[in-house]
Structure 1
Amino acid sequence: MSDNTKEKIKNAAEELITRKGYKDTSVKDIAKSAEVAVGTIYRYYKSKDEILTDMGRLDLKDVSYSQDRRRKQIMEAALDVFGTKGYTRTNMEDIAREIGMSKGSIYQYFESKDKLFISMIKESAQMQTIFNRTENGTEQATIEDVLTGIGMTFLSIFKDPQKIKLVRVIIGESPNFPEIGELFLHGVVEEAAERLGKLLKLHVPSGMDPVLVVRLFIGSLWSFVMLQEMIPAKSKKYDYQDVVKNAVRIFRYGAFSKE
C-alpha cells in the first residue's frame, strides 16, 4: 500500500511541476492531485526536493513557472548558437551552456536538436498573423494601397534581428537539410502568398494568377532584403517606405498597365 501511495505522490509531483513549474507547485497541490492528505506526503518525504530525489528527477527544479516563456528563451539561445556555430556544429550542450540550464532541462521541452530547430521555424511561421493587418478595407482600396500594405508588412518582419538571423540559418542549412527549407517555404512563403493573393483578386487583370503576382512582388522585395539586411555591407541603407513606394510604381506600371 505504501509503495502505491508513493507512486501516486511522485506521479502527481511530476505532472504538476512540469505543467506549473517547481516554484509554483506546493506540497498541498501535490497532495490534492494525488488524492492524499498533506500529512501523508510528509510521512514519506520531508520536502519537495526529497520527492524529486526519490524520482531521480532533480532536474525538475529547473522548470520555470512559465513554460511558454522558457520555451522562447531556449529557442532564442539556440538561435544565437546556431547563428554563430551553424546548425550541424551545434549540440544541445552548447545551447544549455548559452542559456545557463542543464541539458536535461532542455530535453523537457524539446526531444532533440532537430525538433528544437523545427519548432523555431514553426514559430517564425506565426509571423503570418502580421499579414492580417493588410486584410482590412481592401475592397475599397486601390491596387497601389494593397501592394503598399503588403510590401510594408513584409519588410517590417525583417526589422526583427532574430527573424533575420533565423532566415540566415535556414538558407545556410537548407542544402544539407532540404526538409528545413521546405518547411519554411510551405509554412511561411506559400501560405502568405495564398492569403495575399486573395486580396488582389479584385485588382488583377483576367488571365493573371494573383498568387503568382504576389510572389513576384514579394520576390522583388526579398532581393532587396537579401542585399541590404542579410549581407553585411557598407552600402547605402534605403528607407523601407521609399523601397516599397518605388517597387509599387515599377510593378504597377508593368503588371497592371493597360495594353
Structure 2
Amino acid sequence: MNHSIKKIIKKAAEKLILQKGFRDTTIKEISKSAKISVGTIYRYYKNKEEILNDIGRMDLKDVSYSQDNKRKEIMNVALDVFGTKGYTRTNMEDIANKMGMSKAFIYQYFNNKDELFLSTIRESSQMQTIFNLSKINEPINIEESLTEIGMTFLSIFKNPRKLKLMRIIIAETPNFPEIGEFFFRQVVEKVTESLSKILKPYASSDIDPVLSIRLFIGAIWSLVFLQEMLPLKDRKYDDKAIIRNAIKIFQHGFLKYDNNS
C-alpha cells in the first residue's frame, strides 16, 4: 500500500472537513484537493468514515463547521485567560466576559472549567502528526521519521500560544496534579508508547524503546525550553542542528550495532 498517497488523501480530507464540516465534504472534493482521482481514493478507503478513522479524528464526524468554530473560539479565549490569571483564579465568567458572551453560551459546549481546560490542552497540543506517524505499518526511514517527530515537538515552542499552554501546565501541576497527569497520559504517554512500537524492530535487544523515545524527545524539549523560557538569544541553536544532532546521538545509542560497518 502506498503510504505517500494515503498521506496526501488524509491531509486533504482533514483540511476540507475542518473547513466545511464532515457532512458537507464529499469524496469528489477530497480528490480534487488532493489532486488524486476518485477511483484512487476508493482503492484505499470505502468511505469518508474510513478516512477519518485512519486520520484518528472520528470526533470530527459529529461536529459541524459552525460548532467547531465556536468551540475553537472559546478555547482560544480560554487559553489567553488561563495564561494571564492561571487555572486556579480563572472562572467561566472571566472567559465569558472576555468573549462578550454569557456563561450559558460557554456551557452549551463545555460542562465545566475542568472540561474546558483539558480540551484546551488536548486541542492546543496538536500532536496529530505524531499519532498519524505511529499508525504506519510499513517499513520506515528512521532518520526521516525521527526528523518529523522532532520538528513536530519543536513547533510547540515556536508558537507563543502553545508555549503559554506549557507554562500553564508547569505552573498549575503542583497544586492540581490531575492537570499534569492528564497531559502526561493523553499526550506524552500515548505518543511515546505509539512511537516505540514502530521503532522497536530497529532497536537493540537490551534497549527499552519507550524510555529511549522519551529520552530523545526530552533532549530536544529541554534544550529548546531553556532557549525560549530564558534570555539566551545569543546562544540559540538552529532547529535543524538540534534535530540532526539529537538523531545522531539517538541512532548510535539506540539502534542495533552493525559489526560490519
In structure 1, what residue type is equivalent to 2:190?
E
Q: Measured at CA, do residues 220 and 146 of structure 1 come closer, stay the same or move farther in structure 2, by a change above 3 Å?
A: same
Q: Does residue 1:174 correspond to 2:173, yes or no?
A: yes
- Structure 1 partner of 2:163: 164
- CA shift for structure 1 position 67: 1.9
Of 71-80 and 199-208, more deviation after overlay is shown by: 199-208
CA distance in 1, matches of 2:116, 2:135: 32
- TM (norm. structure 1) is 0.67
Could you tell me which runs of 5 or more consecutive residues in structure 2 were left unpaired when the two chains were aligned: 1-63
- Structure 2 partner of 1:217: 216
Counting aligned pairs with the same residue, the percent is: 58
- CA shift for structure 1 position 198: 1.6
- CA shift for structure 1 position 172: 0.7
CA distance in 1, matches of 2:174, 2:92: 22
Native 8 Å contact 1:134 1:153 kept in 2: no
In structure 1, what residue type is equivalent to 2:89?
R
- CA shift for structure 1 position 191: 0.5
Q: Does residue 1:81 correspond to 2:76, yes or no?
A: no
Q: How many positions carry a matched residue from both structures?
A: 194
SS in 1 for 2:233: coil
- TM (norm. structure 2) is 0.66
- CA shift for structure 1 position 232: 5.2
- Structure 1 partner of 2:236: 237
* Structure number with larger C-alpha Rg: 1
CA distance in 2, matches of 1:250, 1:207: 17
Native 8 Å contact 1:151 1:221 kept in 2: yes
- Structure 1 partner of 2:94: 94
Q: Measured at CA, do residues 137 and 158 of structure 1 come closer, stay the same or move farther in structure 2, by a change above 3 Å?
A: farther
Deviations 1:107-150 (A, max 9, x none): 2222222221122123245x232112476696152x43332232
- Structure 2 partner of 1:69: 69
In structure 1, what residue type is equivalent to 2:253?
G
Native 8 Å contact 1:151 1:218 kept in 2: yes
CA distance in 2, matches of 1:209, 1:65: 43
Q: Does residue 1:103 correspond to 2:103, yes or no?
A: yes
Native 8 Å contact 2:203 2:256 kept in 1: no
Deviations 1:16-69 (A, max 9, x none): xxxxxxxxxxxxxxxxxxxxxxxxxxxxxxxxxxxxxxxxxxxxxxxx982221
SS in 1 for 2:78: helix
Of 162-171 and 180-189, more deviation after overlay is shown by: 162-171
CA distance in 2, matches of 1:232, 1:97: 34
In structure 1, what residue type is equivalent to 2:115?
K
State the superposition RMSD in angstroms.
Answer: 2.5
- CA shift for structure 1 position 158: 3.2
- CA shift for structure 1 position 170: 0.9
CA distance in 2, matches of 1:138, 1:175: 41
Q: Measured at CA, do residues 140 and 96 of structure 1 come closer, stay the same or move farther in structure 2, by a change above 3 Å?
A: closer
Could you tell me which runs of 5 or more consecutive residues in structure 1 were left unpaired when the two chains were aligned: 1-63
- Structure 2 partner of 1:193: 192
In structure 1, what residue type is equivalent to 2:112?
S
Q: Does residue 1:114 correspond to 2:118, yes or no?
A: no
- CA shift for structure 1 position 226: 1.6
